[in-house]
A and B are shown apart, each in its own frame.
Chain A
Amino acid sequence: MEAQRIYQLLTEKFPGNIYELKEKATQPASIRVNPETIVEISSYLRDDSELAFDFLMCLSAVDYPENFTVVYHLFSTKHLHKIAIGVKLPREAPRVHTVEVVWPAANWHEREAYDLMGIVFDKHSDLRRILLPDDWDGHTLRKDYQAPKTYNGVKI
């Protein structure tokens, strides 16, 4: 299915919560949506027989100067189409509801985004650091991250 059509379906279903479609220089095309409604949108994307996005390929967090963006790359093994869903989160308190219940694959990806980018996923079943030690300070992938001089008294 074309990205245009997916965008159209989404705007019909969730009027006011679907912001923009970006196709230029973006592969796959990305749709920016309201972070408040991400669970509803995700469930719809997965369960609608015409869309059937049953495969979460990737979940990435990106640190832009003005906001954090979480990008969900989706794929449908039934219809073989792809789409990227993006949510913009404020820099001060990046929070978004987890989509773990929709795609279990999100569990570890969200833990990673929490660990490295500091994005809090509400209602996540097991939101712990995954790659860094539990007592690590800060979130390393943020652009303003300063590497510490020592870790537990050991010089880095």
Chain B
Amino acid sequence: MQFAIQWLVDKFSFLSPISILLLISLMFIVGTVVLLLAMLYEGLGTYALRKIGGDIQVRIGPNRVGPVGLLQFLADGVKLFLKEDIVPTVVDKKLFILAPFITFAASCAAFVALSYSDRLVISNLNIGLFYLLAISSLVVIGVIMAGWASNSKWSLLGGMRAAAQIVSYEIPIGLSLLSVILITQSLNMGEIIRSQSGGWGILNWHIFHNPFVFISFFIYFTAALAEVNQTPFDLPETESELVAGYFTEYSGMRFGFFFMAEWGEIFIVSAIAVTLFLGGWQLPIINNLDIHIYLKNLLQLGVFLGKTFLLIYLMLWIRWTLPRLRVDQIMYMCWKVLLPFAFFNIIGTGLWLLIFKGKGIPELVIQLFS
């Protein structure tokens, strides 16, 4: 995108009407492509959820629409679109209608800042990580709005839980990511991934840099589960306590937007984990391949998605295995367990960087033997 804009600016004078028009249409096209890809992923994500869930629960899962049920998400999507759009009479209409869009838009907007491969970056932001954290926090605004506007007590309780939980867990997430930022000294997603390349293969990944970052990864992953309302922490939407939490009163495609937003969120937090801790699109074998640049980028995209889906699979596995915590236990875990550890990790990483002059464990080990 940046290249395209640069090209436009070079070609035409900067503020000519035609360049602005082209720019806007370009943004529109890219936006639509991103949105479509995001929705495709979210559709396939729900398919994966049901198939994996079925596998874990000794049942079959969707297998009727399309080959092995692959098109089930299309059927579901069509169904959701065709369903009657019910807006209960006592809701706060404006907020009620707005809420799912905010949530959905926020989760889709996060997709642009990710670095999918060396060259495939939709928007190469220098504050990429910061942007991601900021935009995914917007999701909770839609959730609270939905809880409040529904004018239902179950929704309200769900919204309150969401507000308390998601806002709280943002802090350990931010802090655990800080320890990586200390090492990379950059917020750009591409830069962070490139800083994990080097001669020792996967040992260059930040997760193996020092023990503090290793712990940070698990803090991040746990907090991320809470951030995206996955099972041990799925309090805002507990189906057995709050009926469906903040989206109890939603139906049809409005419900569908919440559902897709949740999937977008799951992808984003997994992608962030992959980017910061697990080497992003890098895999030692592919790095050293001497092939055409486009093919290489395609492979890198595959690697990136593969790693991300592995983390998503892990989340689903946890989701189908564990019971859920109670609301006070969740807050306890955030403020009294994860947060102190996250602080400790920042200090630890800082000291490590001071003492060992920015070198990670693999480097030190090799120094020791050479």
Direct contact of A and B (CB under 8 A): no
Q: Which residues of A contact B (CB under 8 A)?
A: none
Query: Which residues of chain B have a CB within 8 Å of any CB of chain A?
Result: none
